[in-house]
Structures are given as structure tokens and as C-alpha cells.
Amino acid sequence: MKYDVTLKELFQASSSRLVQLLLGQTLEVIERLNIEFPEVSSRRADLVMRLSNGTIYHLELQSTDDEEMALRMLEYYYLIYKQYSQIPLQQVIYVGNKSFNSSSNISHPNLQFSYQLIDIRTFPADALLESDSLADNLLAILCHANNTHTVIAQILEKIAQLPRHDREDALTKLFILSGLRNFEPLILQELNSMSTSFDIRDNSFLFGIFQQGHLEGIQQGIQQGHQQGVQQGVQQGVQQGEATILQRQLERKFGVLPQSAIDKINSADAATLELWAVRIFDVNSLEELFQ
């Protein structure tokens, strides 16, 4: 999933504040353990840690409902126990926007197994905003908040204090996470109000998506208070970004593209662009791709 890399990086960098929220205890992480389990088929857990009370703690991150989650957790249970000879404490933290309906337990005649499922929205955003860890601060956007604008503003204020390179990286991560809550327009609104601290053109990720006319249209919508226009601008910007990426991929494979191919790419809808992006590795010509 497109959120996995950012989420895992932030959770791995997060301080013990998040672990304390998850466990409801004042335990500290004293060691991060090997998360790869060599088997016939490779298995890699998201996070495995040793806590200050000696417990092996296994945490998986999940952004979508998965009916096989309990089976996966059971497999990790066995692998962790086999490697460390300890019974792990297992949790899955759900960061998605829809409800998680799959069962968190297995009940068979000869097997009873369960893990603890936690929705990150049960945590108050303030608990992570108070942390000294920027990773915690960024993850606060996924938590419960009475005023989302205030949370975003506080996160952006923390990002604004960073050196330029770190600021660009943190802003990119924040925008990626915002897609889990459809908060992109809210972030753009706050960025516009903080124009003295941020310029979207300084961020290669955002500018790569919201280029040229789309960027100006989004900013104009923000200034005029047109929320629907902002959302439409975001969607158009993302689609334009996908078209640009596809064009670059095709140029690397086939060389300079004819104008007719560029026109097809720029006029295609999001579903078609996604289809072409998947097929690019299986075709030998532009004609075959566009069929």
C-alpha cells in the first residue's frame, strides 16, 4: 500500500510515548528486535521490540480491512516464539478511515487464538502533539481531534522550525498521511495561511503533484473559501501528477514520445492512467499499450 513505507518509518522512529498509549502502561522500549524471519517464504513483521519488563512486543500496522489478519498474526506468533522462545504480546493498530470488520480471533476445535486490535482514532491527538518526537507529532493527524485545523496548524508549526531538507521530508510525510483521512485540502488551507513559513514550490513532492495551473487553481479556491473547488483541484493535481509520472516512464522505455501519445496521456482519466501504468511492463510498443 502507498502508506506503508511512511507509516512504518514513523512508527519505527516514534518515541515510547506511542507504545505507552498502545499498552496503557509506562513501559519503555529498550531494544528493537529483528523483524525478518527466514523461512521457505520470507516473512517480515512491521515492528518487534523488547520492553523494559522483558516482554517481546509485536505491532502490525494496518490501513485496510483484511479478513486474513488473524491468520497472519498467528503465523507471526509462531515465528516470534520460535526465534526468541518467548510468548509475544501482539497488537494491530488500525490507521484506516473505514471500519475494520474482520475478526481478531480464531476459534477452532483444537485452536484458540486472538490478538488485540486498536483503532488509532481512539487516541487523542494532543497526546502525540505533546511528544518531543516529530514522528509522534506527524502521527497525531491520524488520531481523534476536536479541531482538526488546530492539530494541523500545530504540526506545521513544528515542521516550520526544522532545517529546510528536514522540513521538506516532514511535510511530504504529513501530506501522505493526510490521504488516510482526506485532509489534503485542510493542509493546503493551513499552508496558504502560513505562506511566510512555507511555499509549496519549495517542496518537490507537493510541487510534483500540484503543478502549474492546478496549483494556482487550488490556492485560488483556498483564498475564496471554496472547499469543493479545493478538493477538485487536489484530485486534478494528483491525476496530473500520475500522468507526468507515466509519461516519464514511457520516455525511459521508448524514448521521445510523439505528441499524439502525450495527448492521450493528458486526456486520460485516472482509471485509464492506472491501467496503463500496470501494463507498461508487459508491452513492447506504445500501440500495444494504448490498445
DSSP state of 33: P
User: For position 289, what pLDDT does the model report?
Assistant: 85
User: For position 125, what pLDDT does the model report?
Assistant: 96
User: For position 281, what pLDDT does the model report?
Assistant: 65
Percent pLDDT > 70 in the chain is 78
Q: What fold, for 4-122?
A: Trna Endonuclease; Chain: A, domain 1 (3.40.1350)
For residues 141 and 174, the answer to whether their CB atoms sit within 8 Å is yes
Q: What is the pLDDT of residues 127-164, one digit of tens each?
A: 999 999 999 999 999 999 999 999 999 999 999 999 88
The model carries a pTM of: 0.66
Q: Which residue has the higher pLDDT, 204 or 261?
A: 261
The answer on pLDDT for 114 being more than 50 is yes
Instruction: Please state, in angstroms and rounded to a whole number, the distance separating the CA atoms of residues 101 and 81.
Output: 28
User: For position 147, what pLDDT does the model report?
Assistant: 94
Domain spans, the chain:
4-122, 125-209
